[in-house]
Copies of this chain bind each other. A is one copy, B any other.
Amino acid sequence: MDAQEFRANGQAVIELIAQYLETIEDRPVTADTKPGDVRHQLPAHPPTAPESFESVLADVSNIIIPGLTHWQHPNFFAFFPGNSSYPSILADLLTAGLGVQGMSWLSSPACTEVETLMLDWMQELLGLPESFRSTTASGGGVIQGSASEATLSSILAARWRVTEGQVNKDGDTAKLIAYCTSQSHSSIEKGLRIAGIGTQNIRIIEHDTLFAMVADALEAQILADQAAGLIPFWVCSTHGTTSSGAFDPTSAIGAITQRHKIWLHVDAAMHGIAALAEEHRWVNDGLELADSYCTNPHKWMGVNFDCDLFWTQDRASLLGALSILPEYLRSAAAETGAAIDYRDWQIPLGRRFRSLKLWFAIRCDGTAVFQEIIRRHIQITQELADLVAQDHRFEIMAPHPLNLLCIRLRGASPQDADARTDALIEAANATRSVFFTRTVLEGRSVLRFSIGGRTTHAQHAMSAWGLLRSLA
């Protein structure tokens, strides 16, 4: 393919995407497919000669798209819906076309500097603590691929700080203890395990009936561990759990972590973006006490995956944990401290020019668009909760201040209610007109009604609720 063909083919892909998004509601949300169906429609072996672009796009339309789960469908109520706003799609196209590497300042100065600026812009837009800004003596932010990687980076920084860097040499994590609740995201345990903190050294702290960490229980456990000669080093406080949207009490937790000099990470992957709307800025409560923080524009802000924002107030520990400097990566600019080399802020070396999609989204759509979406989803969720509360067959299982509603069918016994709830989720998903995911809260089956799609309006949620009622 040459530049001329790229122009024509590019227009065809743009048109395909525009039509896909304009007509997505006409499709089922999920694919009618079983494992192997897609693969078996494609050649088992690679082609021996080039094929036309038309034939490739035809396969996209006829085989790939029907085999997808449509994360941008307005009736996608599973996980947290995916959002690819038009400006962010075009920015990702530009990222691919420019094809630069942002591993160091030298490897593409603008890639680094736009990223730093975007993190500072987002600090302002979200109303985060000033101490996260890159312009401060010890703070700063970076775009990570996902909250999983941000969490792991945070663990590694904490591990480095508590051992005064010794862990880089001896890898000794035997006495290090980490704290979270059973409601924390799976990436917490995964990240800890990767970092050599086995499950025996992970303390699952009690949560209250609202699924939020009990701060007193945290401190009691920390004291017990210290008394046993162990070293508490990392606490995760979640702002919006995946299962139920619960908020751990970061202000209370932060007072404890400060007292005991423990790294506090706040995982706001799900709900931190709510702070774009001033009236929901309570989601930031306690953040001034956090050593690190992450949230995902690739969820509620409509910036297409991957775009996780990770800030720390202690960049020296992050760099201590993650920097490596072979000769072929040295540069004068970085050694004087004038420039940021983002490879030292993340797990991998290589990195794409991801800040372009945040920059395009903020400039082209503007924050009012995001605020409207956030407010709309929260209002729908509250209206829906009112309706659920009026239907005696259902019960609401958790607080729902934002855009996640956890519901369940009642039954003759808890087991009966579980079975009926599981059957309801299965029956609803089997229609392929909606997609819900299941979770378990206090051992009981729950349907998560997650309202986060850019094109999801009240009628979509109400229609899905109608379906649930008719199937119940």
Contact = CB atoms under 8 A, between A and B. Distances in A.
A10 B1 contact: no
Nearest to A199: B169
Given A96-B304, A98-B65, A348-B148, A114 B11 contact: no
A229 interface: no
* A interface: dominant SS: helix
A117 B174 contact: no
B196 A56 contact: no
A197 interface: yes
A273 B40 CA distance: 27
B31 A110 contact: yes
28 contacts: A1-B365, A4-B18, A5-B86, A7-B15, A10-B90, A31-B110, A34-B333, A35-B339, A36-B113, A39-B117, A46-B125, A50-B368, A50-B369, A56-B359, A63-B110, A67-B110, A68-B109, A69-B109, A71-B101, A89-B97, A146-B349, A171-B200, A173-B173, A173-B196, A186-B329, A190-B322, A298-B350, A327-B438
B98 A20 contact: yes
**How many identical chains are in the complex?**
2
> Which of A66, A94, A152 is most buried by chain B, counting CB atoms within 10 A of its CB?
A94
Given A36-B113, A45-B121, A360-B56, A108 B10 contact: no
Contacts of A349: 146-148, 186-187, 190
A65 B16 CA distance: 28
Given A50-B364, A146-B349, A101 B79 contact: yes
Contacts of A69: 100, 106-109
A49 interface: yes
B64 A187 contact: no
A432 interface: no
A46 B125 CA distance: 8
Of the four ranges (under 10, 10 to 19, 20 to 34, 35 or more), the interface on chain A belongs to 35 or more
A93 B17 contact: yes
Nearest to A446: B327
A256 interface: no
B333 A35 contact: yes
Interface in A354-375: 356, 359-360, 362-369
A3 B16 contact: no
Q: Count chain B CB atoms within 10 A of each CB in A68, A172, A242, A306 and give the residue with the most.
A: A68
Which of A90, A107, A190, A438 has the most B CB atoms < 10 Å from its CB? Answer: A90
A126 to B, nearest CB: 11
Contacts of A152: 194, 347
A201 interface: yes
Given A35-B338, A38-B113, A50-B364, A169 B200 contact: yes
A305 interface: yes
B194 A1 contact: no
A161 interface: no
Nearest to A60: B94
A312 interface: no
Nearest to A176: B171
Interface in A167-196: 167-174, 185-187, 189-190, 193-196
A351 B201 CA distance: 28
Contacts of A325: 186
Given A89-B96, A194-B347, 12 more contacts: A10-B14, A21-B97, A34-B338, A36-B338, A38-B109, A50-B366, A56-B87, A93-B93, A101-B305, A147-B349, A195-B196, A243-B327
